[in-house]
């Protein structure tokens, strides 16, 4: 019997109390599904951390994992997570021994490294796409092997795919369990006027409730609460 909603992702699955947003999609979906919320989401982090911490949690707490529905918010692939030896924000996630920081392709402090990579012929859009896709495929394979019910969605989007190899691998993600894969929560909230402000693109409380309601409809319409 499913009793937990496990979520992982970036700041789109966390509250923003300074902006008056004291809820998020995970909280709202847990209410709608009548499930206990378990969250490992962290603002500013990427898909490597999403994958790693989700797998570690499942292996540490197999009895809880077997009673969980998994909601994974895939962020854009320009966030490159790396483990730290300084226990960065370890107090926020006491069940995890590995802590992460993130360098972003667009960060000014990372520009010298990014410029060096570009000189080595780095294809930034494809790097970002591969970073996102490979972690979703790895989680999909894991959840499938364990028969854990799950749904993916994009919190942020990467650029349009033009490489047929990348498209081939994107097509290998089970779209039955990938909500609105052609867009992202960010794009949807922006298009519907559900962002906090022009300077803060995160969803409003209503934006989170709207997205959660649509997620529940998608889950129920496709009978996704259990793994078939």
Q: Architecture of domain 4-221 in CATH?
A: 3-Layer(aba) Sandwich (3.40)
pTM for this model (two decimals): 0.95
Stated as kind and residue range, the H or E segment containing 200 is strand 200-203
pLDDT of residue 198: 92
| Distance between start and end Cα atoms, the chain | 14
pLDDT tens for 6-26 read 999 999 999 999 999 999 999
Strand partners, 200: 197
* Segments making up each domain of the chain, as ranges: 4-221
pLDDT tens for 169-190 read 999 999 999 999 999 999 999 9
| Residue range 43-47: mean pLDDT, rounded | 96
pLDDT category, 101, cuts 50, 70, 90?
Answer: very high
């Amino acid at each position: 019997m499913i009793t937990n909603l496990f979520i992982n992702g970036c700041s789109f699955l966390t509250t923003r109390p300074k902006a008056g947003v004291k809820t998020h999609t995970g909280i709202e979906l847990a209410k709608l599904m009548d499930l206990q919320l378990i969250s490992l989401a962290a603002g500013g982090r990427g898909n490597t951390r999403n994958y790693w911490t989700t797998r570690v949690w499942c292996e540490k707490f197999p009895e809880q994992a077997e009673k969980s529905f998994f909601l994974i918010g895939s962020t854009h692939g320009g966030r490159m997570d790396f483990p730290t030896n300084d226990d960065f924000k370890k107090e926020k996630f006491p069940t995890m021994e590995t802590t992460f920081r993130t360098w972003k392709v667009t960060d000014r402090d990372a520009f010298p490294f990014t410029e060096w990579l570009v000189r080595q012929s780095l294809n930034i859009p494809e790097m970002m796409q591969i970073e996102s896709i490979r972690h979703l495929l790895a989680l999909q394979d894991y959840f499938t092997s364990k028969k854990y019910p799950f749904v993916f969605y994009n919190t942020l989007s990467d650029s349009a795919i033009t490489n047929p190899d990348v498209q081939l691998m994107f097509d290998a993600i089970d779209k039955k369990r990938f909500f609105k894969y052609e867009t992202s929560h960010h794009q949807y909230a922006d298009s519907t006027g559900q962002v906090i402000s022009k300077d803060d693109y995160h969803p409003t409380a209503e934006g989170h409730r709207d997205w959660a309601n649509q997620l529940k409809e998608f889950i129920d319409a496709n009978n996704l609460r259990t793994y078939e």
